Structure 1
Amino acid sequence: MKNWYLVSLIVLGFYHLTSAQDTSWTIHDRTNLVKEYVRTKAEINAATQYLTPSQWSFKETPKSWSIGQVMEHLYMWELITQRDTRGAIWNGINMDDVKNLLEDDSTATHWIYEDKPHTSPDYTIPTGFIPGDAVLKLFNSKCDELIKEIETSDLNFRLYIRKIPTYNKNLVQIYMIHYGHVDRHLRQIRRIKSHPLFPQ
């Protein structure tokens, strides 16, 4: 009986250690997050800032998105990310939510880097009405806001949870998914530009 009790304690202790969330948050962590945002913004601008109107509007197929539409979609996701992060902060810290957040950063964000196509929610489908140069300015302006919010915050990003059905993430994970989403569409932009019929 003693042996069984001891084994149970060891197993429970191991489970607690492996399932507990890492709640540490350092200046180094914040700096790395900012670096990823600065990087993706720079890569977006390098890929799009000198496009002509015909290049902005080119589509691989009639049903495909143009680069202008991709950028409009990315701008929409900046707004969504800002809403989600501010919502998490507004909700405050609930340690039960933190303890029940079962996914680590890698598990919570791996899907954004997968190769298979994703279906965009209807509220993020671009209209195509915003000129390319204008939507790039919108993207840059909102990206700068997000960067500033990260840089100037003294909050522990691992303690604030955005709770919505089937999607509980902490601030770190929300930001990681967001810049990963930009990376995903950078690949799409580069693919569009490599199309043999892309205007020169």
Structure 2
Amino acid sequence: MKKAVYGVLALLLLSFMPAKQGLNNADKELVVTEMTRTSKKLLKKIKGLSEAQLNFKASPESWSVAECVEHIAISETNIFGAVEKALKTPVDTSKKSKSTITDDEVMNVMLNRTNKIKAPETFKPSGKFGSHKETVKAFLSKRKENIKYAKKTKNNLRGHYAQMAFGTLDGVQLMVFIAAHSERHTLQIEEIMSNKNFPNK
């Protein structure tokens, strides 16, 4: 009899426990797929480049390939900081109706290289990692952490928001933004490499 009572009590307690949130399968797949795809694209583009190629600048004020990679590595951490900041605010599903930007539009806005954006000082390359090799290593380490976070988090990212220059993004869209940002600057690297004066080796 006691066992039966305990069993009923256990079921009642479970029914009142909050359901785990986290990312649903579609959101998880979106973030993990984009982060994986864009990191592979960057690595493929910079593989085998010489020092001369990595440090070539089309003009004195423009960035080199190495500087673009450093900017990506810095941003991988800094932009995730916006996710962490958003999570410190209460869940507010009412903001969803005010957010007009879609997940696809986050990618499209970032990949439109006609819209030039000046990087804040804290995002600018300064040689902080010591070498190109260490820069790539730092990027891959943080990207791995971000992918793991997307897979394992119990946070309801769709319920937390951050205001960006082009709209209000929820937490999932901020993760997509991180991936799109790295691809944006991979496209910049392609532009540098297409310059007629880019070294052959």
Normalising by the residue count of structure 2, what TM-score does the alignment of the two structures yield? Answer: 0.77
Cα distance in 2 between the residues matched to 1:157 and 1:189: 31
SS of match in other structure, 1:139: helix
What amino acid maps onto 1:141 in structure 2?
A: S
Name the counterpart of 1:195: 195
Cα distance in 2 between the residues matched to 1:162 and 1:179: 16
Query: Any conservation in 1 of the 2:35–2:176 contact (CA below 8 Å)?
Result: no
Name the counterpart of 2:62: 64
Query: Any conservation in 1 of the 2:99–2:167 contact (CA below 8 Å)?
Result: no
How far the C-alpha of 1:108 sits from its partner, in A, is 5.0
Cα distance in 2 between the residues matched to 1:115 and 1:148: 29
Query: Any conservation in 1 of the 2:110–2:181 contact (CA below 8 Å)?
Result: yes
Name the counterpart of 2:159: 159
Give the number of aligned pairs: 176
Query: Any conservation in 2 of the 1:56–1:68 contact (CA below 8 Å)?
Result: yes
Name the counterpart of 2:10: none
Name the counterpart of 2:110: 112
Query: Any conservation in 1 of the 2:87–2:160 contact (CA below 8 Å)?
Result: yes
- The structure with higher relative contact order (CA 8 Å, sep 6+) is 2
Q: Which ranges of structure 1 fall in alignment gaps of 5 or more residues?
A: 1-24
SS of match in other structure, 2:154: coil
Cα distance in 1 between the residues matched to 2:151 and 2:136: 22
Cα distance in 1 between the residues matched to 2:34 and 2:165: 28
Q: 1:70 to 1:33 in 2, by over 3 A?
A: same
Cα distance in 1 between the residues matched to 2:181 and 2:49: 22
Q: Which ranges of structure 2 fall in alignment gaps of 5 or more residues?
A: 1-22
Q: 1:166 to 1:29 in 2, by over 3 A?
A: closer
Name the counterpart of 2:25: 27
Q: 1:60 to 1:142 in 2, by over 3 A?
A: same
How far the C-alpha of 1:37 sits from its partner, in A, is 0.4
Name the counterpart of 1:95: 93
Query: Any conservation in 2 of the 1:49–1:133 contact (CA below 8 Å)?
Result: no
Q: Deviations over 1:97-141 (max 9, x none)?
A: 444434333455542122312222222121246421111111111
Q: Percent identity?
A: 23
What amino acid maps onto 2:89 in structure 1?
A: N
Normalising by the residue count of structure 1, what TM-score does the alignment of the two structures yield? Answer: 0.77
What amino acid maps onto 2:169 in structure 1?
A: K
SS of match in other structure, 1:197: coil
Cα distance in 2 between the residues matched to 1:33 and 1:166: 20
